[in-house]
A and B are shown apart, each in its own frame.
Chain A
Amino acid sequence: MKSDLEGTGRDLSIIEHEARALVERRRYPQARLTVARGLKEFPASVELQYLAAFIDYAQDQPDTALQGLKAVLAQAPHHYGARTLSAHLLEDTHQLAEAESVWIDLLRDYPQSADCYAGYGELMLKTLNLDKAGRLAQEGLRHSPDHAGCLYLGAMIDVIRNRPGAQSEHLQRMLHEHPEQVRSAIALAVALSEQGNERGALRIAQELLRHQPDSPHVLAYVRELKARTHWSLLPLYPMQRWGWTGAIVVTLVGITAVRFSERTLPPGLAELLAWLWIAYVIYSWTWPRLLRRWL
């Protein structure tokens, strides 16, 4: 590869194509080398500058990526990839109103782009605007009925609205149309987890991690599921299975039992029960958090 690139007069489009192919295969270190060498020969190439910014974004260097994108957009203000990437970057750096403004401008320029509807919808979902996220997903699916991003968005909304996986048309369609997509696996794992099948969700997430060992999001998700399925959390089963309802029932039953024991059991035994209850309460509030940090 080195000798190829060092040869002068190499066609820019070949270098761009090679860099794009490497980025699509997530081979970022090689892609970075190719882009860097390409930029030496063709420093004005907007596409190579954009790919450099994309690689920075993919490798968790948002500030460098944002700087690179500014340079790209100064030269080519209508570059589609640079605009969508800047929306994602602004979102990641919590400049939410600015990110929204970029999505809206993009949708005005590309009113049939399901990618933009999915991107804007995801931003709405991350800012608690569930209804608008749902409408954007529907609009995106109207233009592109099998679009993976919009189906993923729809599946997440179904989970939030408590429609189990079997009843989520979006999830079913996503698994049918895009079984190879990472997002399909994530949506399935989330749906299983929300139904209480944490072990099933963990198996899927671990499989995903094997395919994407460099993904911090998948790693964080596996860690979270491992913490939730850890044997030491077995005493918290009611809370894990029934959520806050379980917590309310356990709290009221526990306090009532302690109070009742004070009047019915020998003092030593009642005191022991009270201490056990206090220990259980402390454990239930602190241990899951500590476990998440340690795993």
Chain B
Amino acid sequence: METHDDLLQPTLGRHDSPATSIHSARTGYVVSFFGGPLAGATIALVNAYRLKRLRVDWPLGVLAAAVTVFPMWWWFRGGGRWLIAQLGPGAQGLFMRALGLGFFALVYAWHRQYYRNMALFGLNPPSSWAVAVAAVIAGLGVTYVLGVVFS
């Protein structure tokens, strides 16, 4: 049980202190939309690292890999035929967008209290450009390689 003295231990300013803000939900949304689940997981894990909770959040990375690899394998095995018939050749792009946004919804639910906390107190997120662009490029790169492998 936590004592009064435990409560008075400093939380901020130590080398292992969690950051006081994380990359915004807007960044996660845009990155997941353009880069898919792997890019979304990159932002989620960067946020987990900033919050010093990678030990709890690392399964998000595994989940992102799973929801990228298995649906792509299914797609290239002919699973997306019906969707292609309805929507044309752009169906695969839409399928990946849906996966990315679905994964973002999961990440948002996972880190919801931090996002709400930031929104409620108007906390400014860190600059996200570099990490967002890197995450999208990496996500698209891995998706492309997987597409080549499975096709």
Contacts and interface: CB of A to CB of B under 8 A. Distances in A.
B151 interface: no
Interface in B60-100: 86-88, 90-91, 94, 97-98
B130 to A, nearest CB: 20
**A interface bracket (residues with beta carbon within 8 Å of B):** 35 or more
A259 interface: yes
A98 to B, nearest CB: 8
A100 B25 CA distance: 27
A251 B33 contact: yes
Contacts of B8: 104, 107-108
Contact of B120 (A98, A104, A111, A159): A159
A141 to B, nearest CB: 13
Contacts of B19: 128
A100 B13 contact: yes
Interface in A200-224: none
Interface residues of B, number: 40
B101 A251 contact: yes
Contacts, number: 96
B10 A259 contact: no
Contacts of B51: 128
Given A125-B117, A135-B2, A244-B25, A96 B20 contact: yes
Contacts of B88: 259, 262-263
Q: Is the interface of A mostly helix, strand, loop or mixed?
A: helix
A100 B10 contact: yes
Interface in A103-135: 104, 107-108, 111, 124-130, 132, 135
Interface of B: 2, 4, 7-8, 10-13, 17-22, 25, 29, 33, 51, 86-88, 90-91, 94, 97-98, 101-102, 104-105, 108, 112-114, 116-118, 120-121, 123
Given A244-B25, A252-B97, 20 more contacts: A96-B20, A100-B10, A107-B8, A125-B121, A126-B123, A127-B18, A127-B20, A129-B11, A130-B113, A135-B7, A139-B4, A159-B116, A162-B112, A244-B104, A244-B105, A247-B29, A248-B29, A248-B101, A259-B88, A263-B87
